[in-house]
Chain A
Amino acid sequence: MQLTVSQHASATIVAPVGRIDHASADAFLAQVQTLLATHGPDSPPLLLDFSAVDYIASVGLRALMVSSRQAKSSGGKIAIVALQPLVQEVFNIARFNLVIACFDTLESATKELSACE
């Protein structure tokens, strides 16, 4: 799994590519946690761009859950953007939209999250 991070004024965008499964979940979590470590209430939101994620296993969900909890405890904002249909189905079954906010597009995410303030 590859992962690119781009810093924008309105958001930090993390874009993983491929599968988030047993082989890649730990590395994914470690990178997101590193970003969250410097993340505070005033930081721009951390957006996980899932447009290139084909598959997510339960360990991947756990990584998202841990990230969400860490963000919550530090007062930062984290959200997932642009879920693919297969991953969306997993999210539906597991009701993970209740664990971590999900948005269809980057624009709607930044808009919604800044509106929250």
Chain B
Amino acid sequence: MSFISSRLTFFFVRLSQGRLLALALLGLAGLVLYRIEDTPLANLHAAQFDHYQRQMPRPREEQPAIVVEIDSRSLAEYGQWPWSRDRVAELVERILAGAPLAVGLDMLFSEQDHYSPEALAQRLPSLSPTALQQLPNPDRHLAQVLASGPTVLAISGLSRQLSGSRAPQKPLTQVDQLESARPRLIHFAAGLTSLPILEHAAAGEGFINPSPEKLTATRERGVLRRVPTLALIEQQPFLSLPLEMVRLALGEEGATRLDLGAKGIQRIHIGAYSLPTQPNGEVLLHFGKADSHYYLSAADVLAGRVAAEIFASRLVLIGFNASGLQDRIVTPLGDSLPGVDIHVQVIESLLAGIALQRPPWLPNLELAALLMSGLILIGVIPAMRPRYAAATFVGLSLAWVLSGYIAFKVGGWLFDSTAIVLLLSPIFMSLLSGTLIVADNQRRSAEHALHSSREEAARMSGELDAARRIQIGLLPNPSKDFAQEHRFEVAALLEPARAVGGDYYDCFTLDARRLCFAIADVSGKGLPASLFMAVAKTLTGALARRAPDIGQAMREVEVELNRENPEFLFVTAFVGVLDVETGQLDFVRAGHDAPLLLRGGEILRIDAEAAAGPPLCAVGDFSYQAAQTQLAPGDLLCLFTDGVTEASNGVSLFGVDRLIDAMIAPARETSMQARIEDLRDAVRNFEAGQPAADDLTLLLLHWRGGKNVNAD
């Protein structure tokens, strides 16, 4: 339980990054998709399905149906419509002569012929009844012709009773599952039919309404997409005209059957043929490209210019296709076709078993696809860089669009991928803008941080540069200070590892014959070390000048330094006082490496147990004592810090031995300045580019000798 709640908490915490808005948008998108027929998106929805049909129209390989069209030429040759029933009878007779499977008349003969005896009697009351009886009856003539073959008459279903409307005479006698399907079926309150005499004569009747919505609604922009297959007219079941023709053609085998699902009708069967339907029995037509090859002019048929054999084993429709007799529809393919063409398309569809499918579960699938994709986007986009986020969305969109095409191609399934992609877009945009805002904020704060760190670095380097200048400024320049000196020569060098370090050297005369020199290393680095170094150097200088001997000077230095030392820094130092006349050297070693002494090509160490103490400030009150040694003329002293001996090439340390080698190396006499630079170069070459870890400080003191040397 706690696991679940922690996961939930995690989920909601994660949600805070703009995901809540996206989730709300997804909910809205789901609602829109669920009620898409009530939104402006319905047009897009329909347009997408029309687009599929235009890309992949139904193939029309066979011509099972022929249209005999009452076209402009027929009207020109045989006069205005309505033609006499005799002429219609002649037309039907000529078609039946070719032994067609069925003939459907896409027209109504609701009133008596103008030349029927009854009509003439009304118009010409003077005619005698005998004369009337001898007159031919065109309606009866047509009825006789209709009765001679498999003919189907049209019914126009009406939404309400009109004068002249009545129940058609030839409903289907047997439809499997009709009673269960009855509440779902399209229901016409009344029908407009042909004369009863004709109805009785014909083999069947079928309705010709494209769709009842067409009577009241124009929402589908006048584009015909669906036609009813089976409808109730005054509670009696009727097939549409083209289906009735197929049923008649099949004869005994043309049983009509409905497949029912939970939501209504799924499929209509006529004999061995069937079509998938909407729950109300409508079929979503998959239109083929318009074609005029199966159109014959009624004028040609009447004049005998068409061989009757052409009608053999075909379904023949008689309909209008003249500009004066407007009955045109617009198909999803964008064609404007005569209404009778729809019947041909329905016949072809049924015989091929091809229709579009949008069963009731398909919108649910679309909804699931939308919600799933939306959740995926909400899950992954905020964690992605904008570039990959865009690629993910484009990829997902393409996948849905492609699956829409594949679904149509494979089974005529109308899967509305466009609506999914369109409804996902606002979600993606809100997520992406969230990502971009986060990225932008990060960039800004990174820029800000960079800026301030640069500022800080500049400020620090300014301070450190100043500190370094002060530090270096504190150091004497012995080669310059003692340029005129003949008895000795001093050179010194300090290269800080960081901007400022804790090393220092010093070199000054106490009086005419005493030279004080020192090298020291403050523990630690940076500003604290350099400040401590400044204090230590000043104190050492001042106290060395005042104290009678160097040992006492160092004791006083330690006491003074130790007085204020909150950082607990300490200083290793070597301080020496050389009598430049006699060569006597007094020295104190405070935790510092003993200097090297080069005498006649040999290296010695300046050291004495008595003069060796811990670093200054390490103990606080150590009793430093000075030791003495005697230099020989020509002796060279080398003072160094651990920046020399602990210089590293990444593998090993420079060490005292390498320093000794470098000291011995020069074959001829050079200036101390050149020598000290050679030593420095030896260390730097050894380091081979490795950054120096510590200050590098060296001091060389060459004692030439006393006054004797001066005399030279």
| Residues of chain A having any CB pair with chain B under 8 Å | 58-59, 61-62, 65-66, 69, 93-96, 98-99
* Shortest beta-carbon distance from B696 to chain A in Å: 15
B613 at the interface (CB under 8 A from A): yes
Majority-rule SS of B interface residues: loop
B171 at the interface (CB under 8 A from A): no
B69 at the interface (CB under 8 A from A): no
Select one of B569, B591, B594, B620 contacting A96, CB under 8 A.
Answer: B591
Query: Which residues of A are found within 8 Å of B619, using beta-carbon distances?
Result: 98-99
Q: Which of A59, A95, A99 is the most central at the interface, judged by chain B CB atoms within 10 Å of its CB? A: A95
Query: Which residues of B are found within 8 Å of A61, using beta-carbon distances?
Result: 523, 570, 615, 618
Residues of B within 8 A of A (CB-CB), count? 23
Q: Which residues between 490 and 544 of chain B lie within 8 Å of chain A, taking CB atoms? A: 521, 523-524
Assess the B591–A59 pair: CB atoms within 8 A.
Answer: no
Assess the A99–B614 pair: CB atoms within 8 A.
Answer: yes
* Shortest beta-carbon distance from B83 to chain A in Å: 111
Q: Which residues between 600 and 656 of chain B lie within 8 Å of chain A, taking CB atoms? A: 612-615, 617-620, 622, 642
Given contacts A61-B523, A62-B524, contact A96 B614 (CB under 8 A): yes
Assess the B612–A95 pair: CB atoms within 8 A.
Answer: yes
Query: Which residues of A are found within 8 Å of B593, using beta-carbon distances?
Result: 93
* Shortest beta-carbon distance from B587 to chain A in Å: 14
Closest to A70 in B: B568
Given contacts A66-B568, A96-B591, contact A58 B613 (CB under 8 A): no
Query: Which residues of A are found within 8 Å of B570, using beta-carbon distances?
Result: 61-62, 65
Query: Which residues of A are found within 8 Å of B523, using beta-carbon distances?
Result: 58-59, 61-62
* Shortest beta-carbon distance from B691 to chain A in Å: 14
Provide the bound-state CA to CA distance between A14 and B385, in Å: 51
Given contacts A58-B523, A59-B523, A69-B620, contact A98 B613 (CB under 8 A): yes
Assess the A58–B524 pair: CB atoms within 8 A.
Answer: yes
* Shortest beta-carbon distance from B177 to chain A in Å: 86
Assess the B568–A98 pair: CB atoms within 8 A.
Answer: no
Query: Which residues of B are found within 8 Å of A99, using beta-carbon distances?
Result: 614-615, 618-619
Q: Which residues between 551 and 595 of chain B lie within 8 Å of chain A, taking CB atoms? A: 568-570, 572, 589-594
Given contacts A95-B614, A96-B618, A98-B619, contact A62 B569 (CB under 8 A): yes
* Shortest beta-carbon distance from A28 to chain B in Å: 14
Provide the bound-state CA to CA distance between A50 and B83, in Å: 126
Query: Which residues of A are found within 8 Å of B521, using beta-carbon distances?
Result: 58
Query: Which residues of A are found within 8 Å of B622, using beta-carbon distances?
Result: 98
Assess the B620–A95 pair: CB atoms within 8 A.
Answer: no
Provide the bound-state CA to CA distance between A66 and B613, in Å: 17
Selected A-B contacts with CB under 8 Å, 24 pairs: A58-B521, A58-B524, A58-B572, A58-B642, A59-B523, A59-B524, A61-B570, A61-B618, A62-B569, A65-B568, A65-B617, A66-B568, A69-B568, A69-B620, A93-B591, A93-B592, A94-B592, A95-B614, A95-B615, A98-B613, A98-B614, A98-B619, A98-B622, A99-B614
Assess the A94–B615 pair: CB atoms within 8 A.
Answer: yes
- Apart from A62-B570, A95-B613, list 15 A-B contacts with CB within 8 A: A58-B523, A58-B642, A61-B615, A62-B524, A62-B568, A65-B570, A65-B618, A69-B568, A93-B591, A94-B572, A95-B591, A96-B615, A98-B622, A99-B615, A99-B619
Closest to B529 in A: A58
Query: Which residues of A are found within 8 Å of B617, using beta-carbon distances?
Result: 65
Provide the bound-state CA to CA distance between A65 and B572, in Å: 13
| Residues of chain B having any CB pair with chain A under 8 Å | 521, 523-524, 568-570, 572, 589-594, 612-615, 617-620, 622, 642
Q: Which of B521, B615, B618, B619 is the most central at the interface, judged by chain A CB atoms within 10 Å of its CB? A: B618
Closest to B593 in A: A93
Provide the bound-state CA to CA distance between A93 and B569, in Å: 17
Provide the bound-state CA to CA distance between A2 and B615, in Å: 28
Query: Which residues of B are found within 8 Å of A58, using beta-carbon distances?
Result: 521, 523-524, 572, 642
Query: Which residues of A are found within 8 Å of B618, using beta-carbon distances?
Result: 61, 65, 94, 96, 98-99
Provide the bound-state CA to CA distance between A99 and B591, in Å: 10
Query: Which residues of B are found within 8 Å of A69, using beta-carbon distances?
Result: 568, 620
Provide the bound-state CA to CA distance between A59 and B622, in Å: 20
Provide the bound-state CA to CA distance between A95 and B592, in Å: 8
* Shortest beta-carbon distance from B403 to chain A in Å: 59
Closest to A64 in B: B618
Provide the bound-state CA to CA distance between A61 and B642, in Å: 14
Query: Which residues of A are found within 8 Å of B569, using beta-carbon distances?
Result: 62
Query: Which residues of B are found within 8 Å of A98, using beta-carbon distances?
Result: 613-614, 618-619, 622
Provide the bound-state CA to CA distance between A101 and B676, in Å: 38
Provide the bound-state CA to CA distance between A58 and B642, in Å: 10
Assess the B591–A94 pair: CB atoms within 8 A.
Answer: yes
* Shortest beta-carbon distance from B187 to chain A in Å: 91
Please provide the 6 A-B residue pairs with the shortest distance between their CB atoms, ordered closest to farther.
A94-B591, A58-B523, A98-B614, A95-B614, A99-B618, A99-B614
* Shortest beta-carbon distance from A64 to chain B in Å: 9
Provide the bound-state CA to CA distance between A33 and B77, in Å: 124
Provide the bound-state CA to CA distance between A98 and B593, in Å: 16
* Shortest beta-carbon distance from A61 to chain B in Å: 7
Given contacts A65-B570, A69-B568, A69-B620, contact A94 B614 (CB under 8 A): yes
Provide the bound-state CA to CA distance between A98 and B589, in Å: 13
* Shortest beta-carbon distance from A19 to chain B in Å: 13
Provide the bound-state CA to CA distance between A99 and B642, in Å: 20
Closest to B524 in A: A59
* Shortest beta-carbon distance from A71 to chain B in Å: 13
Query: Which residues of B are found within 8 Å of A65, using beta-carbon distances?
Result: 568, 570, 617-618
Provide the bound-state CA to CA distance between A58 and B643, in Å: 12
Provide the bound-state CA to CA distance between A65 and B524, in Å: 13
Closest to A92 in B: B612
* Shortest beta-carbon distance from A37 to chain B in Å: 16
* Shortest beta-carbon distance from A59 to chain B in Å: 6
Provide the bound-state CA to CA distance between A58 and B572, in Å: 10
Provide the bound-state CA to CA distance between A96 and B613, in Å: 8
* Shortest beta-carbon distance from A107 to chain B in Å: 26
Query: Which residues of A are found within 8 Å of B592, using beta-carbon distances?
Result: 93-94
Provide the bound-state CA to CA distance between A95 and B593, in Å: 10
Q: Which of B569, B590, B594, B615 is the most central at the interface, judged by chain A CB atoms within 10 Å of its CB? A: B615
Provide the bound-state CA to CA distance between A66 and B618, in Å: 8
* Shortest beta-carbon distance from B294 to chain A in Å: 94
Query: Which residues of A are found within 8 Å of B568, using beta-carbon distances?
Result: 62, 65-66, 69
Provide the bound-state CA to CA distance between A49 and B144, in Å: 129
Query: Which residues of B are found within 8 Å of A59, using beta-carbon distances?
Result: 523-524
Closest to A96 in B: B614
Query: Which residues of B are found within 8 Å of A94, using beta-carbon distances?
Result: 572, 591-592, 614-615, 618
Closest to B615 in A: A94
Provide the bound-state CA to CA distance between A95 and B574, in Å: 13
Query: Which residues of A are found within 8 Å of B620, using beta-carbon distances?
Result: 69
